Structure 1
Amino acid sequence: MFVVILTYRADLSRIDAALQDHIAWLDQQYADGVFIASGRRVPRVGGVILAGNVSSADLERRLSADPFRQQGLAEYAVTEFVPSRAAEGFERLVP
């Protein structure tokens, strides 16, 4: 499983202009069964993605297709981890 932290590197007006394309990209990752959760950071300086069912190489390939990355709008920090416990209702996250 991976936690991906996006940090914006552009003015929010440029982020907003690319947001619909980014959302379409997110939708595809959910449809492919790779993304588990995603959302904005608070304050709005980037986002967070929780990903699973993917290798690190495949995740990197997918992240490189994000319009935010392609347009140089965000940078990405990826942390891989192996869940050993989960709250009730999230047990499927533990291998």
Structure 2
Amino acid sequence: MFIIDLHYIVPLEELDKHMEAHVQYLDKYYKQNIFIASGRKVPRNGGVILALADSVEEVEQIITEDPFHKHHLAEFKITQFLTSKSHPDLRNLLKIQ
């Protein structure tokens, strides 16, 4: 599993111009069962995406499609972690035995 940590580097007004395209990007990867949760940070200086992928390289490629990346609106940090414990309802999604 991966945590994609976004840090906005432009004013929110500029970011909001690309929000609809960003949501469409998120929806694409939710439909593919790669993204499992996402949202804004509080305070609103970035966002977080939880992703299931086979490799960090796959996540890096997916990020290149994000309008926030394409238009240099945010910095992206990827953290990979091994899921050792999860809520029982997530076991099938996370492929944990």
Question: TM range, normalised to the smaller chain?
Answer: over 0.9
Q: Give me the whole-angstrom Cα distance separating, in 1, the residues matched to 2:6 and 2:95.
A: 24
State TM-score, norm by structure 2: 0.90
Please list, as runs of the form range in 1=range in 2, the aligned pairs for 1:7-86 lying within 5 A after superposition.
7-86=7-86
What SS does the corresponding residue of 2:4 show, helix, strand or coil?
Answer: strand
Q: Percent identity?
A: 39
Give the counterpart letter for 1:54 in structure 2. Answer: D
TM-score (norm 1): 0.92
Moved >2 Å (runs of 4+):
87-95
State how far apart, in whole Å, the 1-side matches of 2:17 and 2:62 are.
21
CA shift at 1:84, angstroms?
0.6
Amino acid across the alignment from 2:59: L
Matched residue, 2:3: 3
Q: Structure 2: where are the runs of 5+ without partners?
A: none
Give unmatched runs, 5+ long, in structure 1.
Answer: none
**Distance in 2, Cα, partners of 1:90 & 1:32:** 16
How many residue pairs get aligned? The number is 95
Q: Contact between 2:53 and 2:59, CA under 8 Å: does it hold in 1?
A: no
Deviation string 1:1-57 (CA, Å, 9 cap, x unpaired) is 001110000000011000001001001011111101000000000100000033211
Residue 91 of structure 1 corresponds to which residue in structure 2? 91
Contact 2:4 2:50 (C-alpha < 8 Å) held by counterparts: yes
